[in-house]
């Protein structure tokens, strides 16, 4: 089966990025895999990395923090944010901050939109808004494309598993 491609839209002079990916599964399932921390840890992030939840209160008004660890279990990155809105199965809006930068405050506002497609498929759009162009360009240079792609391949495998259990 052909893999669904991930599309990054990074326009010049815009402090935003769109990441668009289709999945061969219904949006309710794909939403669940984003909302439930126990599912999220099974697919988020690049290959050869493990996600460890520090805390994850997955609801409107909640907040989260998770670590990315290498195969030896050593923390290599940490991320945190607050959750503005969780509307099943349509939309998650949250802030997002990578803790590894020399100073705090390089936060994004991320909207994850889940749209129905015919044939029990769906489209996921991440819209990230940055505080500056340089924040955006810094993020794009950090290897985020590889990480997102590899994560989505793992997500498709998890969805296949969820589909066969359901």
Which residues make up the interface to its own copies (CB under 8 A)? 13-16, 61, 63, 81-85, 87, 91, 93, 95, 97, 104-105, 107-109, 111, 127, 129-131
Query: Nearer Cβ to its own copies, position 8 or 18?
Result: 18
Tell me how far CA of residue 165 lies from CA of 3, 43, 52, 160, in angstroms.
22, 17, 24, 9
| Continuous H helices in the chain | 27-35, 37-40, 133-140, 144-165
- Give least dist CB 30 to its own copies, A: 19
By beta-carbon proximity to its own copies, the closer residue of 61 and 163 is: 61
CB of 129 to its own copies, least distance (A): 5
Instruction: Output 46 or 62, the one with its CB closest to its own copies.
Output: 62
Minimum distance, C-beta of residue 95 to its own copies, in the bound complex (Å): 5
Place of tokens 């749209």: 115
CB of 158 to its own copies, least distance (A): 27
Report yes or no: 41 and 56 within 8 Å, Cβ to Cβ: no
Q: Which is nearer to its own copies, 42 or 95 (CB)?
A: 95
> β-pairing, 16-23 with 50-56?
unpaired
> Cβ neighbours of residue 12 under 8 Å, at least 6 residues apart?
none
């Amino acid at each position: 089966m052909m893999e669904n491609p991930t599309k990054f839209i990074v326009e010049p002079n815009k402090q935003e990025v769109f990441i668009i990916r289709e999945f061969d599964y219904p949006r309710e399932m794909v939403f669940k895999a984003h909302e439930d921390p126990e599912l999220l840890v099974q697919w988020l992030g690049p290959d050869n990395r493990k996600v460890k939840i520090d805390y994850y209160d997955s609801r409107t008004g909640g907040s989260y923090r998770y670590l990315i660890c290498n195969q030896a279990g050593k923390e290599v990155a940490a991320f945190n944010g607050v959750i503005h809105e969780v509307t099943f199965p349509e939309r998650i809006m949250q802030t997002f901050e990578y803790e590894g930068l020399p100073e705090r405050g390089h936060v994004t506002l991320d909207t994850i939109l889940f749209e129905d497609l015919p044939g029990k498929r769906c489209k996921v759009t991440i819209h990230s808004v940055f505080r500056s162009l340089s924040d955006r360009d810094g993020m794009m240079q950090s290897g985020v494309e590889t990480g997102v792609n590899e994560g989505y391949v793992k997500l498709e495998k998890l969805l296949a598993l969820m589909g066969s259990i359901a």
